Amino acid sequence: MTPSAVALSMILAIVVLGSALGFYAGARYKMDLEQWTVAGRGFGLLFVWLLMAGEVYTTFSLLGASGWAYSQGGPALYILAYMMLLFVVSFYIIPPIWGIARQHSLQTQADFFQQRYNSKSLAVAVALVGVVFMIPSLQLQITGLGMIVEMASFNGIGRTPAMLIAFVLVACFVFMSGVRAVAWISVLKDLLLLFVVVTVGIAVPKIYFDGVRPMFSALLRASPSHLTMPGSTVNHDHAWFISTVLLTSLGGYMWPHTMGSSFTARSDDTLRRNAVIMPLYGITLPLIFLVGFSSILIVPGLKNGDLSLLTVVRKTFSPLFLGIVGGAGALTAMVPAALQILTAATLLAKNVYRPLCAPHMTDQQVGRMSRIMVLVISATALYFAIYSSTTLVALLLIGYAGVTQLFPGIVLGLFSRRVSSTTILGGLGVGVATVAALILGKHDPFFGINAGFVALCLNFLTVGLLNLTKIS
């Protein structure tokens, strides 16, 4: 067999096994809306941990983190900082949200806003913001998956056909099995990912430089500025670093699919314990950075830094191991993509279409509509993935800038009774408009500060001013 055939066969075997687990997960349950979206709220600590790790540690972690270490240098280390802080935030806000969700049988993030603020308009706005800003993250997963198959096939299979085939498969098992499919696939995905990251992260510096310390010594001689701020950029200095860490740590659990997956937990204590142990998963992230930094010297001059890890793996290891890396990478794309598709489809059907167009729809009818929306969301994200060339980290930061604008409504909704739906909707409108103006106008960073964080500050300021006006 050719190297390409060996690698692709291994990727195919892993993807087929993962998909079979997904279909099996749903075959044992009647997939009503409650089972499809929150798995009957019966997941214990292990499944919650694997499910949420599947959302946080994705293609972005594998390819994007190493890619930014390769192309940006020092600024990439913001990923290490925010990955730890976001679990501190989740410890305090996710368990009480789970309690409200359990009490009122909530299934989506927009349901929380509807229950807390009793406003159809706000719930619809929250659902639309969530869907719009999940599209870049979903695009990230599709793009990363296409890169993986293209590299593993030694360019024998184009990126577009690879993305198309994989996402037809993802849409199918989401359509059939819902969130249970994602949880079961996460088991296989996490085992493979840990094996790949530990092996590659340790082996690459050892093979080429005889260790991590000699690798950094060589990099310091070749490009000393790469390991400081702003690295290889001109505008990602300390202000950008701090504001980006704050934005992403506050926004990590504002993603609709992340908050929705917390509703699958058996108890609020499960979520607290999950927040405590989740940082253990981040131990592997420095190993991914080591590969990115090593790649600067091993394969210099890559036009797309996101390809650095795969290029080094293809250069260093056997086709069989490349296939294992490719299979693990494919699952790291498919797991979060499946959750995002499921959540976006449910938000559109339940929190946008039903209140605006068909208020008398039953949950069974919403479930059928959600499955139709799976196809719509998948096609939309695939279109943007094919026709956009934005880097993986940039895509994620666009999504974060948008979804973090939901943070004031969440945290004030939990801990204050003085805010109303009008003030939260006003702040959300200002925040999203600022994100759109700054990012589309290419003013990110804005005077050195992450545009999403600027928008979040204006969001909070607007809520405060509107609330003072209402009180006075």
Got the DSSP string for 325-367?
A: HHHHHHHHHHHHHHHHHHHHHHIIIIIIIHHHH-TT--HHHHH
Distance CA 99, CA 96 (A): 5
pLDDT at position 39? 59
- Asked whether residue 15 is assigned to any structural domain, the reply reads yes
- Write the pLDDT tens digit of every residue in 386-443: 887 677 778 888 999 999 999 999 999 999 888 999 999 999 999 999 999 999 899 9
Q: Model confidence at 36, in pLDDT bands (50, 70, 90)?
A: low
- Asked whether residue 451 is assigned to any structural domain, the reply reads no
Q: How many domains does the chain have?
A: 1
pLDDT at position 32? 61
Over residues 131-148, the mean pLDDT reads 86
Q: What percent of the chain shows pLDDT beyond 90? A: 45
pLDDT at position 173? 61
- Asked whether residue 416 is assigned to any structural domain, the reply reads no
- Asked whether residue 51 is assigned to any structural domain, the reply reads yes
- Asked whether residue 97 is assigned to any structural domain, the reply reads yes
Residue-wise over 345-358: b if at least 16 C-beta within 10 A, else e? bbbbbbbbbbbeee
pLDDT at position 33? 63
Of the listed ranges 52-56, 380-384, 397-401, the one predicted with least confidence: 52-56
pLDDT at position 312? 95
Distance CA 34, CA 253 (A): 21
Q: Model confidence at 293, in pLDDT bands (50, 70, 90)?
A: very high
Q: Which CATH number fits the domain that encloses residue 79?
A: 1.20.1730.10
pLDDT at position 155? 77
pLDDT at position 170? 72
Over residues 299-304, the mean pLDDT reads 92
Distance CA 410, CA 406 (A): 6
Domain range for residue 84?
Answer: 3-247+257-391
Instruction: Give this prediction's pTM.
Output: 0.89
280 by Cβ neighbours in 10 Å (0-12 / 13-18 / 19+) ranks as exposed
- Asked whether residue 472 is assigned to any structural domain, the reply reads no
Question: Which residue did the predictor score with more confidence, 33 or 135?
Answer: 135
- Asked whether residue 252 is assigned to any structural domain, the reply reads no
